[in-house]
């Protein structure tokens, strides 16, 4: 049983309890744990099989009640408690909760009164105005729910970080034109650099809030206005993403940033900490009695709570607050630390730009080096290079390198890791290269054990320096194949092989929770864009965000090294 399956069950229970109008703290207990587990890098299945129920109870937010349920789930694949909850419910009612604007109260009332099970039936009722006579139910509510059903039908899957960020930046640029805007920033999951984004949160400091609200609600990309108030507005955009704007006074900017950046659990934890100290924390400031202790700067809020500053990417409601108490938050890797990109494709395989153009672009990004890593011979769909084409490319790169100072192109390849773990070029070809990435591109459906052995064997090749996009996942498109990460990281640390954080928005692979595990185990990372055109160099930003979410420091990442040190590092494995 995977963590994800358990997390889904926990959420399902919390939804059903909500529908039953159960104690809200009980509901929160399930949600809290579900959220905690989504950032947890250990497999519950393994913990239970090794240490039993007791082991489960060592996990934060797991007590006796839930430990018992998880144990039953792992043992039998089923949970009686959940089935009982479901059996007392109108069938299909959980779907109603997925409609924006529809909460548990409305869902239960409607389902019970009209005996309907599907969203289609609900839509029909709404269109026939059958619900209008219900208490507290007017025309506007009817309209709101119909809009909600439209959104539901589109399947509001979360957008990729790389899709949402440019939209958010567009909004920021638009709003900056308003002369009342003193400060503006993205917040929420975007600022936390989550791999997928539900909606765009933007925070503004302005004296004339109304004028900013007006501008926000009349932007070209506005599809419809969900809410418009004095300090808060929400819109739907033509990109099928919701955007929320908050306007606060200057003295509350830090408090508001703190409040709108943390995920729900992080915020609850910080506010609980405030209460324990006899303070109150809200989006306007940290207060003791009526007195404002901190508000303008985010840093001050954490300091007054007795915490080290917690970077946005770490505010996930995991153990970051405990670590901040102990001053254990590391200095995380930053964009300025990156010295070069080690995974780039050219027109010679499935990229579109020439080596020269790519090199020029890399220099513009302030890089000191880069690696050209086209595909290897087996990957014919990507026009992988055979030996003679690869040797020709090597010569070409040598010629270009002779012409330039202060920038160096490493001759590389993204070599296929074949089914048996051998590499797609023989060693006498590999040794002509400066750097080698090994990637799995085919035969994803192996068992976990087989896939792990395949990758371990590849790492034992002394010419292999980096494992590329290790899980093969494509967010919202393709599931990751299973790998035993602990074994891979251990081997990586011992063989001087780096694990890639592939910065393509659809990949972000190695993902955040495993980055942290890799760092703990002493494996090095390489943050690469896997660019197939020069515009994709900007993806580096997303890769760094993922690294930061995994608590990675500059020294954990090989492409923060100066050229001579990275060459030294590669040679270490070859000798």
Partner DNA sequence: GCCGTTTTCGGCCCGACTGTTTTCAGTCG
* Site residues for DNA per CB under 7 A: 23, 25-26, 28-30, 33, 60-67, 81, 100-107, 135-141, 144, 188, 198-199, 201, 227-233, 242, 244, 260, 264, 267-268, 271-272, 274-276, 280-284
Residue 515 in 3-state DSSP? helix
Q: Which residues pair with 428 in a beta bridge?
A: none
Q: How many helical (H) and strand (E) elements, i.e. helices and strands, does the chain have?
A: 24, 17
Tell me how far, at minimum, the Cβ of 297 lies from DNA, in Å: 19
Cβ–Cβ under 8 Å, residues 554 and 340: no
Q: Which is closer to DNA, CB of 18 or CB of 341?
A: 18
**CA–CA distance, 466 with 436 (Å, rounded to integer):** 7
Which residue lies nearer to DNA by CB, 176 or 264?
264
Single out the residue of 207, 281, 286, 217 nearest to residue 245, CA to CA: 217
CA distance 110 to 90: 10
Q: Give the residue with the Cβ less far from DNA, 77 or 278.
A: 278
* Rounded least distance, CB 306 to DNA, Å: 12
Q: Which is nearer to DNA, 142 or 555 (CB)?
A: 142
232: which residues sit within 8 A by CB, 6+ positions away?
Answer: 244, 245, 246, 247
Give min distance, CB of 453 to DNA, in A: 37
Integer Cα distance of 348 and 299 in angstroms: 49
**Shortest distance, CB of residue 242 to DNA, whole angstroms?**
6
Nearer to DNA by Cβ, of 322 and 535: the residue is: 322
Question: 216 or 539, CB closer to DNA?
Answer: 216
Q: Which helix (H) or strand (E) holds 501?
A: strand 498-502
**Residue whose CB is less far from DNA, 179 or 276:** 276
Residue 158 or 383 having the CB closest to DNA: 158
Nearer to DNA, 130 or 228 (CB): 228
Three-class DSSP labels, 228-279? ECCCEEEEEECCCCEEEEEEECHHHHHHHHHHHHCCHHHHHHHHHHHHHCCC
- From the CB of 516, what's the least distance to DNA, in Å? 20
CB of 23 or CB of 447, closer to DNA: 23
Q: Which two tokens stand for residue 193?
A: 């650099």
Taking the complex as a whole, how short is the minimal distance between the CB of residue 141 and DNA, in angstroms? 4
Least gap, CB of 436 to DNA (angstroms): 44
Q: How far is the CB of 107 from DNA (least distance, A)?
A: 6
Element (H, E) at 24: helix 24-37
CA 146 to chain centroid, in Å, comes to 31
Which tokens in the block code for residue 393?
A: 């490319």
Q: Give the end-to-end CA distance of the chain in Å, rounded to a whole number.
A: 42
Phi/psi at 196 (5° precision): -130, 155
Q: Min. distance of Cβ 102 from DNA in angstroms?
A: 6
Give the shortest CB-50-to-DNA separation in angstroms. Answer: 19
Q: How far is the CB of 309 from DNA (least distance, A)?
A: 21
259, 382, 444, 478 from 350: Cα distances, Å? 44, 5, 21, 20
Burial class (CB in 10 A: 0-12, 13-18, 19+), 365: middle
In terms of CB distance, is 102 or 430 closer to DNA?
A: 102
Point out which residues pair with 186 in neighbouring strands: 202
């Amino acid at each position: 049983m995977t963590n994800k399956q358990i997390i889904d069950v926990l959420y399902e229970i919390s939804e059903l309890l909500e529908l039953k109008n159960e104690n809200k703290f009980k509901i929160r207990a399930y949600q809290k744990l579900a959220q905690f587990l989504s950032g947890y890098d250990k497999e519950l299945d393994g913990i239970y099989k090794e240490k039993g129920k007791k082991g489960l109870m060592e996990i934060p937010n797991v007590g006796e009640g839930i430990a018992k349920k998880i144990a039953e789930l792992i043992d039998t694949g089923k949970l009686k408690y959940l089935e009982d909850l479901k059996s007392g419910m109108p069938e299909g009612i959980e779907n109603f909760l997925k409609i924006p604007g529809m909460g548990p109260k409305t869902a239960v009332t409607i389902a019970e009164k009209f005996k309907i099970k599907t969203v289609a039936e609900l839509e029909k009722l709404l269109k026939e105005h059958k619900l209008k006579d219900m208490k507290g139910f007017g025309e506007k509510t009817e309209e709101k729910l119909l809009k909600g059903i439209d959104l539901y039908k589109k399947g509001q899957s979360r957008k990729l970080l790389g899709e949402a960020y440019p939209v958010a930046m567009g909004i920021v640029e638009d709003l900056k034109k308003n002369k009342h805007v003193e400060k503006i920033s993205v917040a929420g999951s975007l600022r936390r650099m989550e791999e997928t984004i539900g909606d765009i949160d933007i925070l503004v400091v302005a004296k004339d809030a109304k004028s900013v609200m007006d501008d926000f609600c009349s932007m070209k990309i506005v599809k419809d206005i969900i809410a418009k108030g004095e300090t808060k507005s929400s819109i739907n955009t033509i990109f099928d993403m919701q955007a929320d704007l908050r306007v606060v006074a200057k003295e509350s900017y830090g408090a508001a940033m703190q409040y709108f950046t943390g995920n729900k659990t992080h915020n609850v934890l910080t506010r609980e900490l405030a209460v324990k100290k006899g303070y109150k924390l809200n989006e306007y400031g940290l207060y003791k009695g009526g007195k404002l202790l901190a508000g303008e700067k985010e840093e001050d809020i954490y300091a007054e709570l007795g915490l080290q500053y917690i970077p946005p990417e770490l505010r996930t409601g995991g153990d970051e607050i405990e670590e901040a108490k102990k001053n254990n938050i590391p200095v995380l890797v930053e964009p300025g630390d990156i010295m070069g990109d080690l995974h780039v494709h050219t027109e010679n395989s499935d990229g579109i730009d020439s080596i020269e153009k790519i090199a020029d672009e890399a220099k513009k990004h302030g890089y000191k080096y880069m690696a050209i890593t086209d595909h290897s011979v087996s990957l014919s769909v990507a026009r992988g290079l055979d030996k003679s084409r690869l040797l020709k490319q090597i010569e070409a790169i040598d010629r270009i390198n002779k012409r330039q100072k202060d920038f160096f192109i490493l001759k590389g390849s993204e070599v296929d890791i074949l089914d048996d773990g051998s590499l797609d070029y023989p060693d006498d070809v590999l040794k002509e290269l400066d750097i080698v990435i090994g990637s799995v591109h085919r035969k994803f459906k192996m068992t976990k054990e087989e896939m792990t052995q395949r990758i371990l064997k590849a790492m034992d090749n002394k010419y292999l320096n980096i494992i590329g996009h290790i899980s093969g996942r494509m967010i919202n498109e393709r599931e990751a194949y299973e790998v035993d990460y602990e074994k891979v990281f251990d081997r990586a640390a011992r063989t001087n092989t780096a694990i890639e954080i592939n910065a393509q928005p659809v990949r972000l692979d190695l993902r955040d929770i495993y980055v942290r595990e890799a760092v703990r185990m002493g494996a090095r990372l390489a943050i690469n864009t896997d660019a197939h055109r020069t515009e994709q160099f900007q993806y580096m930003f997303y890769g760094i965000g993922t690294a930061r979410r995994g608590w990675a420091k500059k020294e954990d990442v090989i492409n923060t090294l100066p050229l001579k040190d990275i060459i030294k590092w590669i040679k270490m494995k070859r000798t």
